[in-house]
Structure 1
Amino acid sequence: MSPVPSPTSDRPSDYLAADAVVDHDHPAIHALLGTLQPASDDPAARAEAAYLFVRDEIEHVIDAGDPRVTWRASDVLRQRVGICHAKAHLLAALLRAQGIPAGFCYQELSALHGLNAVHLHGRWSRLDARGNRTGARGEFSLDEEKLAWPVDSARGERDLPEIHLAPSAVVVDFLMTAEPGPGWYEKGLPRTL
């Protein structure tokens, strides 16, 4: 059973900030938002359009066998590739640029897996835009969790319930210092926060 998402701040507005990683004030972020076609102007429809773009249009480096390393949201968008954490940075930027509070969540699987939480309809829901190749099954849902990977507690895996305001420093530091090349993510991707 998944944990109940637990925000580290009680104010959803705290989950709208831009920074060096979630640079939602970047012109490319706003240009993309102008091209997305949500089903309606409802915030949930706009969130779903952003989610589907990140999940389906941004390649996951492992699935694509791509040697590039991205970490800043605008760079993930420009290069159209990123590991789960980088894709979560872009999704947060796309949501926050629209005034939709978004945070960062983690799972301890074989390595630390990054995903998002979004605040809509008065509550938090976790979303995983990792990409649905190689067995992953993430879907947009505000009513029930449909994350890319189920947690197997028998293998020592666990969901971390916290919704962080900013991406984990350990993840950002790793991504900023990783050397591009084949299998770069195998060389020290954090296993825990």
Structure 2
Amino acid sequence: MLSLIQKDDLNAYLKPSEVVDYNNPEIQLKAWELAQGLEQIEMAKSIYHFVRDEIHHSLDIESDIVTCRASDVLKEGQGICFAKSNLLAAFLRFMDIPTGFCYQTLTHEDGFVLHGLNAVYLDGGWFRLDARGNRADVDAQFSMGKASLAFYPLEEGEKDYPYIFSQPDKGILSILMLSKSLEEVMKILPSVLNW
């Protein structure tokens, strides 16, 4: 089991930002709807399942739309892993659950690419959640015990970064905000985390 390292003060994992824009009324409305009547852990589980299952991974549906800001991911109903992690963070932070950002380097086609997921602070500890979206070869689940992620770095050159960041990687955000197509994004995504 990976030992997770909190990089910032716990309060930093609750703040909104340009892309974790939980001040948006649509984010707030959906978060309240998903959390209604639930205790904190069940609320987090409900929100996670919504982002994992109801927000499509853009590559899985062969879309070329690029989203980044949480409110845009919700509006479009899709995003790649980094965008979906922004949405999950926005929902959970709005519901006062500290949420951070984690990364992996994974094999992709003929090289490597970064993958983004979240870490959530519940019941006195951090655990990782990957809301990328399941498919035939991916079975990520909500788990506060042993991590149940979309991917596990197993091949040579792959890496699991143990750090929990309060904000998404600026380089990734810049790529998502400036790219005109998903094809362009995939061509220029970095393969390692520069921190």
TM-score if structure 1 supplies the norm length?
0.93
Contact 1:56 1:131 in 2 (8 A): yes
Offset of 1:124 from its aligned partner?
A: 0.3
Alignment of 1:95-134 (within 5 A): 95-110=92-107, 111-134=113-136
**Counterpart in 1 of 2:41?**
44
1:4 and 2:24 are equivalent in the alignment: no
Farther off after superposition, 128-137 or 156-165: 128-137
Q: Number of residue pairs matched?
A: 188
Instruction: Determine the structure 2 residue equivalent to 1:76.
Output: 73
Residue of structure 2 in register with 1:30 after alignment: 28
1:17 aligns with 2:18: no
| Structure 2 unaligned residues grouped into runs of 5+ | 108-112
- TM-superposed CA distance for 1:134, in Å, is 4.7
- In the other structure, the counterpart of 2:190 is 190
Shift of 1:185: 3.4
State the SS of the aligned residue for 1:192.
Answer: coil
Q: Does 1:158 align with 2:155?
A: no
Structure 2 partner of 1:178: 179
Structure 1 partner of 2:110: none
**Is the CA contact (8 Å cut-off) linking 1:106 and 1:114 kept in structure 2?**
yes
Structure 1 runs (4+) deviating above 4 angstroms are none
SS at match of 1:113: strand
1:85–1:113 CA contact under 8 A, matched in 2? yes
Partner deviation per Cα, 1:32-65 (whole Å, 9 max, x = no partner): 0232156x52211111111000000000011010
Superimposed CA distance per residue, residues 76-99 of structure 1 (whole angstroms, 9 cap, x where no aligned partner) = 000000000000000000000000
* CA distance, structure 1, for counterparts of residue 46 and residue 122 of structure 2: 14
In 2: Cα distance, 1:37 partner to 1:18 partner: 19
Give the direction of change, closer, same or farther, for the CA distance of 1:37–1:163 in structure 2 (3 Å limit): closer
- Using the TM superposition, give the Cα deviation of residue 150 of structure 1 relative to its aligned residue in structure 2, in angstroms: 1.5
SS in 1 for 2:30: helix
* Kept after mapping to 1: 8 A contact 2:2/2:162: yes
Distance 1:42 1:12 in 2: 21
Corresponding residue for residue 52 of structure 2: 55
Following the alignment from structure 2 to structure 1, what is the Cα–Cα distance between the partners of residues 136 and 169? 25
